[in-house]
Structure 1
Amino acid sequence: MSTDAGEFRVRFYRLGKELTFLAESGPYPGVLADPPPHPDGVPEHASPAVDWNWPAYHHDLPDDWPSGLYLAHFIEGPEAEARRVPLLDDSGIEGFEREFFVVRPARPAATGARILYKKSTYTRHAYNRGDRADAQRAGSLYDNPVHQQAGPDGPRGHRLSLHRPGGVIDLAYWDAPFVAWLERSGYRVDYCTDLDLHEDPGLLAPYRLLLSVGHDEYWSAAMRGHVAEFVRGGGNVAFLSANTCWWRVHPVDGNTAFVSDTDHHVGTEYPHLPATDQWWPAPPDGVGAPENALTGVSFRNGGMWPGDWPGDRPRAGYTVQHADHWVYEGTGLRDGSDGGPADALGAGTPLIGYECDGAAFARDADGVAHATGVDGTPESFLILGIYLLDPVHDDFHHLKWGHWNCPAREPAITSPRAATMGLYTAGGTVFTAGTTDWPVVCGRELDAGVVRVTRNVLDRLAAPAPAPVTPGS
């Protein structure tokens, strides 16, 4: 914490059906500290690559605080001044002078939770610019990044410290509405971070279903390995997210920073192309482990909205396929097999995007899309919903193909691109929504079909594991 105030306090809230105030701590003495200068001498900007080493303050959390996503709100000034600052409500989650944290359960699944919600913290850090309300420090993997060569500080790539301030944005947009919906709907859920999944090989064992929510772009090899092993052993995953597992990260400095060799500019130059920490390309130009082998889909075959974030995007929704599948149970949606037009899931809402993932596909004689598997998607992947992306790159009124992000690798488009919803089973079942804003549409209950599909996925994939069959039974 850095402040020029003589003292400050911290108010703690938990995200649930609503933002709930829990406690206020302090006062703590204020100490002013400067952000570290950018190593490239970028004026007025701060380095995203090093620990800012600001004064630390310790606070013990009560033992009875349940697992969840929590918000800390920092209040400057003496007590009389602090008393004039009103408590936050749901509209005050986003902003500066705020930080979020995750409380893990003292005993996993002790409350009966069979669902583990993973907050995508590596992605949050990648986009965190280290700004404050009155100062744009503009240091991230995207703004004035710092690139290092391989050496004692880690492998070659862009370096990013997790010990930097920056305020709250993504939590308010994706997580808050969906967490509120989960609790309103009666689901028992435990929570973790990317770092928890990276460090703990046994983290997933007590649960039936892992949730990836919103924007989940940056994954370590250990994270991916632990999830893949979970699925092989019969565990289930719901990727209510997109741009998922696009870049590999290498945690360093006792896991307080990471390095990732990406295709982000440093100044006006690419420090290294092709960027070797992209999951899908073959070595030596990439990791050689297509993300869709796990998720079923990839940003490579999807796209993004090229305008302002999150933008007022196309509202056509997913064209329904296989309406008799259990995922669609109770929605009343049709797929056109009755001779009428196929319905669209989420029509009228900005369901598709802000970013979306897809699978390489081809259509049969009846026009039904099937995954080809040429991109690494499992053979059993069933496309349940599809939205064809318009091939116009620069028109503000269209989504932009994911191909734009890797022109050095694919100079030409080789197959149609489409946002893709579907699932496959290989030990456990993996469902993918194929879009970042699924939790927003569901959480805000903007479309009854999306809500019902989400319930169907959670109810089925979080159900208790079937009892083993004994010989002779």
Structure 2
Amino acid sequence: MASDHIRRWESGAIAHAVTDPFGLGPVPWLRGSETYFDDTGHVVPWYVDAVPQQHTRGDARIPAPRTSPGGPRSADDVHRQIKGFTATGAVAPGEAIDFHITVDPPQEFAVDIYRIGHYAGDGAAKITTSPRLSGIVQPPPLTADRTVSCHHWWQSWRLQVPSHWSVGAYVAVLTTADGYRSHVPFTVRDDRPADLLLLLPDVTWQAYNLYPEDGHTGASLYHAWDEQGALLGEADAATTVSFDRPYAGAGLPLHVGHAYDVIRWAERYGYDLAYADARDLHAGRVDPTRYRGLIFPGHDEYWTGPMRRAAERARDHGTSLVFLSANTMYWQVELGASPSGTPDRLLTCRKRKGPGKPVLWREVDRPEQELIGIQYAGRVPEPRPLIVRNARHWLWEATGAHEGDEIPGLVAGEADRYFPRTALPAHDERILLAHSPYTDTGGTLRHQETSLYRAPSGAWVFASGTFAWSPALDRPGHVDPRIQRATANLLDRICKRD
């Protein structure tokens, strides 16, 4: 097939449109509904960039890759120029992390390690570079009932994390000798005391991972492919996905940018942060009661039972909870061991398929509102203003926000609200800080709400109720000083235990 007629699915890099994770943000911002039909009749994920220029009839509408002239090119899931993943979850300083990488054609490659942070506005800092490594073509992924796994790939490089490294969110940037590039995110955690524990939503990231995005093999909990290379919906998607595989496209998870926005902002403001993954919370590798607050920085839709119990125990112990996105804790999931016995490498969510009960938390009599204070209401087709409510509350103090003020574009992607017929958590105080109308895809008028309550333990539980809160902290073109100050008011109070 001629290169100018490549269908969108034939390049994960094009689909994700990610080549510089440390410039304007590592993923495109919200672009409408979850999927839509393109000109060829294929269903395309919502994270595909639209094409600004006009094309003649019959041409494929291909977004231009975001690369600078002569710069590195993004690897894709069809040609697999370079792709990789880590064989473990988060690691502590002094531990080792193993990378499994495929390179096609075989050639030397190098790995640059970056840490996400403010770093005088750069957004990340290069921490180290590997020696030149010899790349090989790894075997094709193994598939079984739409579960895709690369657990049989040979180890390519072991990174011994020095004891002096800072905890945080890291990205390994893989670059071949002939200039192709991909990414592998990982987390360095520690048990040291800190005011706030930031939990990266790696379980939700994996749920959305369509690797390999090749029009044939890949599958997520949302999509798979038919024989013509068109995307199928949830009814035909995987019920189990593996952490033993790269992320699709350029190697960064969908929604990862929201977490990075929060990290850059929080480190700029000087908050004392510890880091962990959602799987650490699940496995009990972190004790959330040791912290004054837990921050859930991005889209965090998939929760195991142990994750929820740990968060509830933390709240009841006096640890505050900060949910900076929407559609949190919607699906109940299970984590299982890989074929080799490594724990927490398989993620299962049966959704509407197979025997047993539905696995929405609210359908097993444990609605998310009982922890969060509000819960998922639906998608927001076009960004709408967030309407400030109870502007005299301390959260809005010194923000300049007044009752009824509109903060443009802050209700976007998905929205939460208070459900009057659903039980509320036990609380000493409770307030709604925004009430924002929007029209859903069916033309029905709905509303978003932002919630804050104080548990009997003294813990605060905040829920933004929108995808757009995190980008308003540090995403160029989306920063809003009112949201920055409101978030600082919240975290300051949590850190002071007011």
> TM range, normalised to the smaller chain?
0.7 to 0.9
Taking structure 1 as reference, are residues 273 and 314 closer, same or farther at Cα in structure 2, changes over 3 Å only? farther
- Relative to the length of structure 2, the TM-score reads 0.69
Match of 2:454 in 1: 425
In structure 2, the residue matched to 1:320 is 388
Find the aligned partners of 2:357 and 2:325 in 1 and give their Cα distance. Answer: 23
Deviations 1:301-329 (A, max 9, x none): x22134xxxxxx33322x22222211111
Superimposed CA distance per residue, residues 338-359 of structure 1 (whole angstroms, 9 cap, x where no aligned partner): xxxx223xx22x2112111111
Aligned partner (choices 267, 281, 284) of residue 183 of structure 1: 267
Distance 1:322 1:394, change over 3 A: closer
1:261 to 338, 350, 364: 350
> Within 1, Cα distance between the matches of 2:463 and 2:328?
10
Q: Alignment identity in percent? A: 28
Q: State the distance in 2 between where 1:136 and 1:76 align.
A: 25
Alignment-derived partner of residue 234 in structure 2: none
Q: Give the root-mean-square deviation of aligned CA atoms.
A: 2.5
Match of 1:277 in 2: 359
Q: What are structure 1's unaligned runs of at least 5 residues?
A: 41-46, 86-95, 146-156, 264-270, 282-286, 307-312, 336-341, 361-371, 396-400, 402-415, 467-473
- 1:195 is matched with which residue? 279
Q: Distance in 1 between matches of 2:243 and 2:492?
A: 35
- Whether 2:242 is the aligned partner of 1:161: answer yes
Write the letter of the residue equivalent to 2:415: C
1:237 counterpart SS class? strand
Q: Which amino acid aligns with 1:303?
A: G
Q: Is the 8 A contact 2:321 2:460 kept in 1?
A: yes
The one-letter code matched in structure 1 to 2:184 is E
1:304 to 379, 404, 409: 379
Q: Any conservation in 1 of the 2:289–2:317 contact (CA below 8 Å)?
A: no
1:387 shift after superposition? 1.2
Show the counterpart of 2:436.
387
Deviation at 1:10, TM superposition (A): 1.0
Conserved 8 A contact 2:142-2:148: no
TM (normalized to structure 1)?
0.72
CA–CA separation in structure 1 for the residues paired with 2:126 and 2:266: 19
1:21 aligns with 2:126: yes
- Return the alpha-carbon distance in structure 2 between the equivalents of residues 201 and 419 of structure 1: 35
Which one of the candidate residues 170, 178, 182 is aligned to 1:70?
Answer: 170
Read off the aligned partner of 2:164 and give its amino acid letter: D
Contact preservation (8 Å) 1:292, 1:376: yes
Contact 2:415 2:467 in 1 (8 A): yes
Residue 163 of structure 1 and its aligned partner are, at CA, apart by 0.8
Asked if 1:123 is matched to 2:204, the reply is yes
SS in 2 for 1:59: strand
CA pair 34-142 structure 1, distance change in 2 beyond 3 A: farther
Q: Deviations over 1:400-454 (max 9, x none)?
A: x8xxxxxxxxxxxxxx842110111112110110112211012236222111111
- CA distance, structure 1, for counterparts of residue 447 and residue 283 of structure 2: 34
* Structure 2: distance between partners of 1:209 and 1:420: 22
Give 2:189's aligned residue: 104
Instruction: State the match for 2:154 in structure 1.
Output: 55
Deviation at residue 273 of structure 1 after TM alignment? 8.5
**How many angstroms does 1:191 deviate by?**
0.9
Q: Secondary structure at the match of 2:267?
A: helix
Deviation at 1:205, TM superposition (A): 2.5
Match of 2:485 among 430, 452, 455: 452
Question: Which amino acid in structure 2 is aligned with residue 115 of structure 1?
Answer: L
Report the equivalent of 1:43. none
- Using the TM superposition, give the Cα deviation of residue 136 of structure 1 relative to its aligned residue in structure 2, in angstroms: 6.9
Cross-structure match for 1:292: 369
Aligned to 2:402: 334
2:116, 2:264 within 8 Å by CA — same for their partners in 1? yes
Aligned to 1:220: 304
Q: Per the alignment, in what secondary structure is the counterpart of residue 100 of structure 1?
A: strand
Where structure 2 has 5 or more consecutive residues not aligned to the other structure, the ranges are 1-100, 226-237, 338-342
How many Å separate the matches in 2 of 1:275 and 1:173? 33
Partner SS state of residue 461, structure 1 = helix
- Partner of 1:376, secondary structure, is coil
Contact 1:213 1:436 in 2 (8 A): no
CA gap 1:136/1:69 in 2 versus in 1, 3 angstroms: farther
Q: Offset of 1:53 from its aligned partner? A: 2.1
Q: State how far apart, in whole Å, the 2-side matches of 1:202 and 1:179 are.
A: 19
Q: Pick closer, same or farther for the CA change 1:68–1:201 going to 2, 3 Å.
A: closer
Hey, what's the Cα distance between the residues in 2 that align with 1:130 and 1:26? Answer: 28
Q: Distance in 1 between matches of 2:344 and 2:256?
A: 25
The residue type equivalent to 2:350 in the other structure is D
The DSSP-based 3-state class of the residue aligned with 1:241 is coil
Does 2:423 align with 1:376? yes
Q: Is the Cα contact below 8 Å between 1:212 and 1:238 reproduced in 2?
A: yes
**In the alignment, does 2:136 pair up with 1:31?**
yes
Deviation at 1:51, TM superposition (A): 4.7
By relative contact order (CA 8 Å, sep 6+), the higher-ranking structure is 1
Distance 1:379 1:222 in 2: 21
In 2, the alpha carbon distance for the partners of 1:53 and 1:201 equals 26
- Which of residues 139, 150, 154 is equivalent to 2:219? 139
Query: Residue 127 of structure 2: SS of its match in structure 1?
Result: strand
Q: Does the C-alpha gap of structure 1 residues 275 and 196 become closer, same or farther in structure 2, counting only changes over 3 Å?
A: same
Question: 1:47-82, CA deviations, whole angstroms, 9 ceiling, x for partnerless residues?
Answer: 4354542122321011111010000011123xxx57
Instruction: Give me the whole-angstrom Cα distance separating, in 2, the residues matched to 1:135 and 1:97.
Output: 19
For structure 1, which segment, 215-224 or 58-67, has the greater mean C-alpha deviation from structure 2 after superposition? 58-67
Q: Distance in 1 between matches of 2:286 and 2:173?
A: 33
Distance (whole Å) between structure 2 residues aligned to residue 351 and residue 223 of structure 1: 28
Distance in 2, Cα, partners of 1:321 & 1:177:
25
Question: 1:242, 1:211 → 2: CA distance?
Answer: 13
Structure 2: distance between partners of 1:322 and 1:379 = 21
Give the deviation of 1:137 after TM superposition: 4.3
The offset of 1:333, in angstroms, is 2.3
Residues 143, 62 of structure 1: alpha-carbon distance in 2 compared, 3 angstrom cutoff? same
Q: Tell me the CA shift for residue 135 of structure 1.
A: 7.0
Q: CA deviation at 1:202?
A: 5.0
Distance of aligned partners of 1:141 and 1:207 in 2 relative to their CA distance in 1, 3 Å threshold: same
8 Å CA contact retained: 1:48, 1:164? no
* Distance of 1:435 and 1:305 partners within structure 2: 9
- Does the aligned pair in 2 maintain the 1:228–1:294 contact within 8 Å? yes
